[in-house]
Copies of this chain bind each other. A is one copy, B any other.
Amino acid sequence: MGKATIRDVAKAAKVGIGTVSRVLNNSPKVSLATRMRVLGVIQNLDFHPNNTARLLSRKIRIHNIGVITPPFTNYYAFADRLRGVQRGLAQTPTDYELTLFSVSSLAHFDDQLALILQVRNVEGLLIIDMDLTEMQVDALRQAGIPFAGLNHFRGRSWTCIGTDNIEGGQLATEFLINLGHTRIAYVGDDFPPEYGWPTGEERCAGYKSTLRKHGIEPLDELIRLGPYDYQSAKTRTFALLDLPEPPTAIFAMSDFLALGCIAAIRQRGLRVPEDISVIGYDNLELSFHTGLTTVSQHLELSGELGIKYILSMHGGAESEPAAAPSLPPQSVIVRYTTQSISAA
């Protein structure tokens, strides 16, 4: 059922297949009577034309690039990357389309990837903020689909376009230390996080190593890990504020969580940055508007470079992949949520 073809329709309406096709395409050369009869049969049989056959017959080739997107928390980080992808695509005069696959869990990601591999309806793949297993990488290579991750993970054998998270963690921590802070808390996600990406772990490692470099021992009570959401970041910040000796600065693993921290601090009647400094990570467009000090990781640019990389791969020889594009160095964008401890 539901598998009616144009031939079934033709038979049922006692016309030729050409006539059915003409009706479907609103060709004027069909008499009204015939047209009505055919349309009736189409309704009856619940016939839906198969677009694949249509495209094949018309010799239309469609090219599209898949974009795999993580679940919905921190949507703006994804949005900033996607904007870059669209911008990059618009700058290249090609007829590629963008197909969005959204993923609701790690298992679902695996399914989606398997489906994409099987159907192969995509000539390139951009994977936002998710990690790949070696098996998945092999499968992708096998299938000859150019792909890149939009993010950065250390030591991966595949192209990741993003900035180094350990370095970024060091940068943020160094910045706070230079401001005179020594009691610096870290608010981030669990290890291993739900979606298997080591981003938070790396940023935290950068935080710890920098503290040690300056002779400060990282304290467990100042490192608050948990689910990656706004509410939870608030809760963990409250816990920090309840400490006998609260931190004077917080490094949040992302701007999204940083906003949760700030909300919690203000809710307690404390001021940012006068009482506590907060630095985030991402430099979302959102963070410009909220005046958040943060580490810029060139989200939008990563999307733009990513799509261009994919497009460059597809034209030519797949044996020698184009050099992975690299982003400019990340840096601390100083705004209004951090200040020197001596100024307090």
A residues adjacent to B (C-beta < 8 A): 26, 43, 50-56, 60-62, 64, 69, 72, 75-76, 79, 82-83, 86-87, 89-90, 97-102, 104, 119-121, 123, 142, 259, 285-286, 289-290, 317
Question: Which of B53, B69, B100, B286 meets A286, CB within 8 Å?
Answer: B286
- Known contacts A83-B72, A97-B101, A100-B97, A55 near B52 by CB under 8 Å: yes
Chain multiplicity (copies): 2
Question: Which of B100, B119, B289 meets A55, CB within 8 Å?
Answer: B119
In the complex, which residues of chain B have a beta carbon less than 8 angstroms from the beta carbon of A290?
289-290
**Contact indicator B142/A26 (Cβ below 8 Å):** yes
In the complex, which residues of chain B have a beta carbon less than 8 angstroms from the beta carbon of A55?
52, 119, 121
Per DSSP, are chain A's interface residues mostly helix, strand or loop, or mixed?
helix
Closest to A286 in B: B286
In the complex, which residues of chain B have a beta carbon less than 8 angstroms from the beta carbon of A100?
86, 97-100
**Contact indicator B87/A83 (Cβ below 8 Å):** no
**Contact indicator A97/B99 (Cβ below 8 Å):** yes
- Known contacts A79-B79, A100-B98, A72 near B86 by CB under 8 Å: yes
A68 CB to nearest chain B CB (Å) = 12
- Known contacts A55-B121, A79-B79, A286-B289, A86 near B62 by CB under 8 Å: no
**Contact indicator B76/A102 (Cβ below 8 Å):** no
A124 CB to nearest chain B CB (Å) = 12
**Contact indicator B99/A64 (Cβ below 8 Å):** yes
In the complex, which residues of chain B have a beta carbon less than 8 angstroms from the beta carbon of A82?
79
A59 CB to nearest chain B CB (Å) = 9
How many angstroms between the C-alpha atoms of A75 and B43 in the bound complex? 41
A306 CB to nearest chain B CB (Å) = 15
How many angstroms between the C-alpha atoms of A343 and B102 in the bound complex? 48
Question: Which of B61, B79, B90 meets A50, CB within 8 Å?
Answer: B61
7 contacts between A and B (CB under 8 A): A51-B121, A52-B61, A62-B119, A72-B87, A76-B285, A98-B99, A99-B99
